[in-house]
């Protein structure tokens, strides 16, 4: 008997390598887990903006540089510890609110600019990356047209095809 695995139209890499890379991404998701937004209008606008945003290796590489810089800075300044974490305790009502929250820390803004991103690009890259990565864990019986709100098929395909490279960017070995 032959078993086929549904990939939602996504191809690339060996299954073992993908599973290894997904393990590294799970660690990242633990740090950047997203909770539900509580304001309907802001949520709707944010989800539309996220769905239209396109990830690239350049954006993800720059965002990983920011994350590493903020991690180092937070060792000297504890107020920066949660700046780049989009978790339920600091749940933004919108992308705009997250941009304001991150932008209220001059050292964070400097790290973001040094990586060649605007604060908004950084927030969008991280939110989009996290939501897209979460979509990769959808059950196999979910059709590609039913990705969660704010997630585009293009970004799911992109992350799936570049998962090993992305995992290396966010690893501590660099």
For residue 139, CA distances in Å to 51, 57, 62, 102, 122 come to 20, 26, 31, 33, 29
Dihedral pair phi/psi, residue 126, rounded to 5°? -70, -45
DSSP string, 90-106: G--SSHHHHHHHHHT-H
What confidence tens digit (pLDDT) does each residue in 48-64 have? 899 999 999 999 999 99
| Mean pLDDT value across residues 4-16 | 45
3-state secondary structure of 51: helix
Work out the percent of the chain whose per-residue pLDDT is above 90.
Answer: 33
Token pair, residue 18, equals 């993908």
pLDDT interval class at 87 (50, 70, 90): very low
Supply the pLDDT for residue 1. 43
| Mean pLDDT value across residues 74-100 | 73
Domain coordinates in residue numbering, the chain? 39-170
Which pTM was predicted?
Answer: 0.73
């Amino acid at each position: 008997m032959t078993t086929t695995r549904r990939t939602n139209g996504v191809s690339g890499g060996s299954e073992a390598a993908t599973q290894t890379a997904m393990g590294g991404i799970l660690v990242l998701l633990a740090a950047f887990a997203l909770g539900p937004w509580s304001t309907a209008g802001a949520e709707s606008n944010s989800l539309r903006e996220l769905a239209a945003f396109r990830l690239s290796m350049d954006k993800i590489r720059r965002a990983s540089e920011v994350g590493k810089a903020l991690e180092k800075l937070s060792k000297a300044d504890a107020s920066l510890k949660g700046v780049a974490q989009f978790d339920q305790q600091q749940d933004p009502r919108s992308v705009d609110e997250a941009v304001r929250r991150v932008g209220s820390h001059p050292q964070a803004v400097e790290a973001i600019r040094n990586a060649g991103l605007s604060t908004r690009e950084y927030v969008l890259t991280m939110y989009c990356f996290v939501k897209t990565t979460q979509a990769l864990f959808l059950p196999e019986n979910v059709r590609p047209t039913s990705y969660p709100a704010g997630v585009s098929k293009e970004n799911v395909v992109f992350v799936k095809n570049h998962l090993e490279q992305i995992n290396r960017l966010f690893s501590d070995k660099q």
